[in-house]
Amino acid sequence: MTVRILNGSAIRDQIYAELQSQIAELQSQGIRPGLAAVLVGENPASQLYVKSKIAACEKLGIFSEELTPPATITTEELLRLVADLNRRNDMDGILVQMPLPKQVDSKRILDAVAPEKDVDGFHPFNVGKLVAGKPNLVACTPLGCMEILRRSDIPIEGANAVVMGRSDIVGKPMAILLMHAHATVTICHSKTRNLPEVVRRADLVVAAMGRAAMVTTDYIRPGATVIDVGQNVITDAAEAERIFANFPEKIEAFRKKGNVLVGDVHPDVVNVAGAITPVPGGVGPLTIAMLMSNTVRAARLRRGARSGSPQAVGATKS
């Protein structure tokens, strides 16, 4: 059996082509979608993430502005900054890059973002709309996973799906999206009994536990579809050699760079899965694509743009 590699980069490019035509339509009406990215402090990983998001805006013609308050900012000061962005009509989306410094109340900040500008899909209003089957702005990573499945013609309706992980950002919205697409969904987590046995029943597995290479071949039914959300950096040579024992090119890359990226799914799973997303190049590119899609959708909805439908790329139906 030959495994299908679900190429997230290729799907991202399809979505970008569709978004470019939507953006051109908005611009013909005098509307340029705008995204504000708030990056607190100088966390290198956060800086990299925001840089890639700003680059995507530039590629598509979305107006973007990066705000970089110091790491010493207080909750009240950051709330005032978010309130200013809520009032700005040129900003359709507000992205507050996580994590925030310890002295900042992250929940208060995320809840302060106007729901119609919440392009991350984290606000309780938008979560409630998703649960009710009337999605408005949905969390980007699970939305990206759905696009991979749909555009790869992976059957969802009637499938037994297992979501590994129950985070508010990925696991919970992923399960809800799959339910709305008529899958039968089981959510697993660190307290699930007989975890490999439960996961092995699935036609479709979404791994979002945040643990490097934990999903080994004994978790996966032969022929199942595996969506790997994990992004784990391995810096220990012994761990890299253990995980990539059957992939000498990865070990060689580790020796050159001193680190290697691995998902939550062990690379050997490629030998039993029917279809699988790679790491890197699978879910990652779709997360940013869905952020762009949400920004365009927010612009259309906020500004009353003329269109046959306000539904942007990635929006789901109940």
Mean pLDDT of 272-281: 97
Give bridge partners of residue 186 from the DSSP assignment: 162
Please pick, among 53, 117, 172, 250, the residue that the annotation labels catalytic: 53
pLDDT for position 306:
62
Q: Where are the beta strands (DSSP E) in the chain?
A: 4-5, 34-38, 63-67, 93-96, 160-164, 184-188, 204-207, 225-228, 232-234, 260-262, 275-276
User: Would you call 53 a catalytic residue per the annotation?
Assistant: yes
- Name the residue with higher pLDDT: 211 or 312: 211
In the DSSP assignment, the letter for residue 237 is: H
Residue 241 Cα to chain centre, angstroms: 28
pLDDT for position 315:
43
Please pick, among 92, 118, 120, 264, the residue that the annotation labels catalytic: 120
In the DSSP assignment, the letter for residue 284 is: H
Give the pTM.
0.94
Rounded to 10°, the helix 8-28/283-303 angle is 20
pLDDT for position 305:
67
Domains for the chain: give ranges and CATH numbers.
Answer: 29-118 (3.40.50.10860), 140-284 (3.40.50.720)
Which residue from 23, 48, 18 is spatially nearest to 35, judged by alpha carbons? 23
Q: Output the average pLDDT for the chain.
A: 95
The number of residues in the chain equals: 318
Q: How far apart are CA 306 and CA 215, in angstroms?
A: 46
Question: Please, which residues have CB within 8 angstroms of residue 76's CB and are 6 or more apart in sequence?
Answer: none
User: Would you call 59 a catalytic residue per the annotation?
Assistant: no
Q: Are 226 and 265 in contact (CB under 8 A)?
A: yes
pLDDT for position 303:
85
Interior/surface letters 61-77, b for 16+ CB within 10 angstroms, e for the rest: ebbbebbebeeebebee
Lowest mean pLDDT among 158-172, 189-203, 240-254, 303-317: 303-317
Q: What pLDDT digit, counting tens, does each position of 80-112 carry?
A: 999 999 999 999 999 999 999 999 999 999 999
CA distances from 302 to 146, 243, 305, 310 (A): 25, 47, 8, 10
pLDDT for position 307:
56
Interior/surface letters 174-189, b for 16+ CB within 10 angstroms, e for the rest: bbbbbebbebebbbbe
Q: How far apart are CA 76 and CA 281, in angstroms?
A: 38
Peptide bond before residue 135 is cis, with ω within 30 degrees of 0: no
Q: Are 163 and 174 in contact (CB under 8 A)?
A: yes
Specify the 3-state DSSP secondary structure of 231. Answer: coil
Which residue type occupies 101?
A: P
Give bridge partners of residue 95 from the DSSP assignment: 37
Cα dihedral angle (149, 95, 127, 199), rounded to 10 degrees? Answer: 40
User: Would you call 129 a catalytic residue per the annotation?
Assistant: no
Please pick, among 22, 92, 97, 231, the residue that the annotation labels catalytic: 97
The model's confidence at residue 304, banded by pLDDT at 50, 70 and 90, is: confident
